[in-house]
Amino acid sequence: MEMPNIKPISELRNYTAVVSEVGYGSRVYLTKNGHGNITMIDMGELDDIEKELALYKFKYEMAIAEKSIREEGTISADDLEAELGVV
């Protein structure tokens, strides 16, 4: 496993050098006064993380819906239309 790339935020004075160290799976963590402040991450990696998060959220919502169906059952299309006032 690769060691995290941690730098003080003052390193951004040499922005080009810092950015060149960022790649897929290779983040740069910037600190301010010795504490984590900012992370620089490859945009492709960020897109993949966001897709995974959306998938997990979808699976979670589906699990809630499936539990509701098991515990509460369903209603017919006619009953749903009547409940929504669609005829």
The confidence score (pLDDT) of residue 1 equals 64
pTM above 0.85, yes or no: no
Q: Which residues pair with 38 in a beta bridge?
A: 30
**Mean pLDDT (the chain, rounded):** 94
Distance CA 22, CA 19 (A): 5
SS3 23: strand
27, 39 Cβ separation under 8 angstroms: yes
Distance CA 49, CA 55 (A): 10
Distance CA 4, CA 30 (A): 11
Mean pLDDT of 74-87: 90
pLDDT per residue as tens digits for the range 34-65: 999 999 999 999 999 999 999 999 999 999 99
